[in-house]
């Protein structure tokens, strides 16, 4: 009689153990699937630009004599600027930040590069921005990063022209939602772009 009682106890406990194991492994599998799904969605979401820096509370206004802090090695991402904006286009020489910032206020993206950047990389950048109506491209003296993309209140540093975030940034922020003066011009200002 004792044997049958022990056998019954074993039989009753086996399904509970299996259920517990299935529950544990099922939860783990569900967690892995959820994490994988979030990663895939995050990588496919064009609105997510990794490394984007935000600058909040930027002042606006005109001052022909404005001077920017250059100790960061980055172009200004907004602020008080010249009353004259920079004509959008490609420049082979550095342009005045005070005019470029005014163009940012109008919705331009400013693509700058360290003057020591390889000519092959500069050519790739030119190909990316050629024909864009609200983009400035110029060298920026003493720039800390090889390439920097700037829109009003936003900045992205990249190492090479093949970085897929460059076209994403241009598409998202050229005349983007951050623009303080949408509809303002990026022509009939100062400067003669070469492209």
Structure confidence by residue, pLDDT tens digits, 155-183 = 999 999 999 999 999 999 999 999 999 98
Say if residue 156 is in the same domain as residue 96. yes
Say if residue 134 is in the same domain as residue 159. yes
Say if residue 85 is in the same domain as residue 24. no
The CATH number covering residue 128 comes to 3.40.30
Say if residue 96 is in the same domain as residue 134. yes
Contact 87, 137 (CB under 8 A): no
Say if residue 104 is in the same domain as residue 144. yes
Residue 128 lies in a domain: yes
**Element holding 111 (H helix, E strand):** strand 109-113
Residue 186 lies in a domain: no
Residue 24 lies in a domain: yes
Say if residue 72 is in the same domain as residue 153. yes
List the one residue out of 141, 137, 142, 133 whose CA is nearest residue 174.
Answer: 133
- How many domains is the chain built from? 2
pTM: 0.76
Edge-first strand order for the sheet with 53-54 is: 53-54, 154-158, 147-151, 109-113, 135-139, 89-90
Say if residue 64 is in the same domain as residue 136. yes
Say if residue 23 is in the same domain as residue 68. no
Say if residue 3 is in the same domain as residue 64. no
Say if residue 34 is in the same domain as residue 94. no
Say if residue 105 is in the same domain as residue 70. yes
Contact 74, 143 (CB under 8 A): yes
Domain span at residue 41?
1-45
List the one residue out of 185, 190, 179 whose CA is nearest residue 60.
Answer: 179
What are 97-145's pLDDT values in tens digits?
A: 999 999 999 999 999 999 999 999 999 999 999 999 999 999 999 999 9
């Amino acid at each position: 009689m004792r044997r049958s009682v022990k056998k019954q106890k074993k039989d009753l406990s086996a399904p509970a153990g299996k259920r517990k194991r299935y529950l544990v492994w099922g939860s783990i599998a569900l967690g892995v699937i959820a994490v994988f799904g979030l990663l895939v969605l995050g990588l496919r979401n064009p609105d997510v630009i990794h490394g984007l820096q935000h600058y909040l509370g930027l002042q606006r206004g005109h001052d022909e004599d404005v001077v920017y802090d250059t100790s960061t090695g980055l172009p200004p991402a907004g602020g008080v600027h010249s009353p004259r904006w920079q004509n959008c286009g490609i420049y082979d020489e550095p342009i005045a930040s005070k005019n470029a910032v005014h163009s940012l206020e109008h919705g331009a993206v400013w693509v700058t590069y360290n003057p020591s950047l390889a000519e092959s990389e500069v050519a790739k950048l030119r190909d990316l921005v050629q024909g864009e109506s609200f983009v400035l491209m110029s060298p920026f003296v003493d720039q800390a990063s090889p390439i920097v993309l700037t829109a009003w209140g936003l900045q992205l540093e990249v190492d090479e022209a093949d970085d897929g975030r460059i076209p994403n940034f241009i598409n998202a922020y050229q005349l983007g939602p951050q623009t303080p003066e949408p509809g303002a011009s990026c022509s009939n200002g100062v400067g003669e772009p070469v492209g």
